[in-house]
Amino acid sequence: MKGEYIKIKKGALILAVAVIGLLIGGLVYALTDNFYANLEEFSQVASVVNSHYMEDVNPQDLIKAGIKGMLEALDPYSEYLDPKQYDALLEDTHGQFEGLGIEIAIKDGWLTVISPLEDTPAEKMGIQAGDRIIKIEGVSTEGITVEEAVKKLRGKRGTVVHITIEREGIGEPMEYAIQRDVISLRAVPYYGLAGEGIGYVRLNRFSDISGDELREAVSELLREDIRGLILDLRGNPGGLLSQVIAVVSVFLEPDKLVVETKGKMISQNKEFYSFGKPLFSDLPLAVLIDEGSASGSEIVAGAIQDWDRGVIIGDTSFGKGLVQNVVQLKDGAGLKLTTARYLMPSGRSIQKPEDLNNTIISVQEDREANSHRTDTTQTKPEFFTKEGRVVYGDGGIVPDVVVPYENLSPLEYNLLAKLSFFDFAVHYTATHPSLPRDFEVDDAMFSEFKQFLTTRGFSYQTSSELELEKLKEAVTEEERSEAVNQQIEVLEKLLNIEKEKDFDLSKDYIKSEIRENVLVKLYGQNAKYEGVWFKHHPQIKKAIQILSSPEEYKKLLSAK
């Protein structure tokens, strides 16, 4: 009887599977048929536009525009990459290219060196920040774009490029013949001691060398007998998932779940675990994040937080919890397509729901999760760490200790955006090339900076001035009475008086930025960490304080 029952059940099961298979097959056929019907409509529209539009159109441009529009309907991260964009993506993830090793920008219409990279042909030949490259192979660079310049400056290892440079303080242009080489983009641009017994590592990307570079840095710091470590992921946009796992494996014991991916295709449903021998699995750890920390950075911070392995400090991260796969297309182009979402060990998603508002994919669970999204943690869905601490889903990693950045004033924003600190550092060091590392920005140097801005015609508008401009536009000349004109003139004078105080209100910030830019100009990028960051960045100072207090650190990681 029991055997007959099993046989009947098996037969029913086989029949059920067969029926379901037919239903699914029919559905797939219907969906496929519908897909190709719409594709035919797309082709028809493109054909009509090509034949009947009032001007000649490039069919290739039409198709690419259609592809981009299709991907824009999905989510913010799926995109078509032209061959140059695809090569740039590969370069960023591989962490190297062949060229001179300089960061460049266009300033005042001329190609300008922002910074030579450490231990590169450009640095070895003495190229400096602020140098103006006026010729490449004898051809003027006036009006050149960065993209055009990069194409001319890069080339195969061992080949030579000739450039002509103008440098402030040097009367005649200088000629350089620089041999190109392989340039490695370091994932760890700096590591050192941020305080007594406190190590610091800056990780700025997840390229194919990130795990190895981090292990090397942590190993060196452990030789200094550190009792705590700061991992700085601020502004890190992410990168290769394999390297994200490698980074987490430095801090977690093996076989700990780091992240899970969930997608429509079964092949996208995966779990990723820490592996190998950790270097730093028991000493206090602080991870710094901000709103510029995205994707891979959020996975690292989230895994560390969910396993109660360290304290997360800073501001809520960006909230990019979607998986992109890159497919190479013909002619060197590429397709970056979102295929899954990330889930942290606690089960939470880090994706900002509002970033999916334009998606055409409809998933009930997504809608339910999105309903929790607000700007505060009060209505976010709650999850729990290994030790029972509450953490939050739907929108980035919320730090254990919130230390937000202060908003820049209009003056500060404009000084940064117009590279005023960089320009002043180039100008000042031309006449003060022997400043010691421990110099301070005194009032005389501050005043010289203000005078420098005046000679360069620096200007900006405060928020009050912008509002006054709107008022003046709203009240036309014909409608203004003499009394109104007089009142507007009074307001303008008052605003100018108040504006004079902006420099004094921002004095500490301005001095800090001047010091950082001058240090970098004279002593290289590494000088800014010890000279400015460790002393003035509130997130780093808070991390040093917490790591220096075992009681406070332990309290932050305990369930309340």
Statement to judge: residues 357 and 395 lie in one domain: yes
Residue 71 lies in a domain: no
Residue 11 lies in a domain: no
**Res. 151: pLDDT tops 60:** yes
| DSSP element (H, E) containing 135 | strand 132-136
Residue 246 lies in a domain: yes
Phi, psi of 524, rounded to the nearest 5 degrees:
95, 170
Residue 77 lies in a domain: no
Residue 285 lies in a domain: yes
Statement to judge: residues 213 and 286 lie in one domain: yes
Statement to judge: residues 250 and 277 lie in one domain: yes
Residue 131 lies in a domain: yes
Could you give the 3-state DSSP secondary structure of residue 172? coil
Q: Of 373, 405, 437, which residue sits at a domain end?
A: 405
Statement to judge: residues 241 and 367 lie in one domain: yes
pLDDT, position 285: 98
pLDDT, position 373: 33
**Res. 343: pLDDT tops 90:** yes
| DSSP element (H, E) containing 141 | none
The mean-pLDDT minimum among 247-256, 291-300, 356-365 falls in: 356-365
**Res. 526: pLDDT tops 70:** yes
Give the CATH number for residue 164: 2.30.42.10
**Residue 275 vs residues 200, 265, 295: alpha-carbon distances, Å:** 23, 26, 20
Strands of 219-362, DSSP E? 228-232, 257-263, 270-273, 285-289, 311-314, 322-328, 334-343
Give the model confidence (pLDDT) of 85-111 as tens digits.
Answer: 888 777 767 767 899 999 898 888 899
**Domain around 161:** 96-180
313, β-bridge pairs: 288, 401
Distance CA 355, CA 76 (A): 7
Statement to judge: residues 132 and 241 lie in one domain: no
The mean-pLDDT minimum among 65-69, 392-396, 401-405, 476-480 falls in: 476-480
What pTM was estimated for this model as a whole?
A: 0.79
Give the model confidence (pLDDT) of 254-267 as tens digits.
Answer: 999 999 999 988 98
Residues classed as catalytic:
295, 306, 320
| Of 474 and 198, more confident | 198
Give the CATH number for residue 381: 3.90.226.10
Statement to judge: residues 223 and 174 lie in one domain: no
Shortest CA distance to 196 belongs to which of 170, 228, 171, 173?
Answer: 228
**Res. 8: pLDDT tops 70:** no
Statement to judge: residues 173 and 222 lie in one domain: no
Give the model confidence (pLDDT) of 185-207 as tens digits.
Answer: 889 999 999 989 999 999 999 99
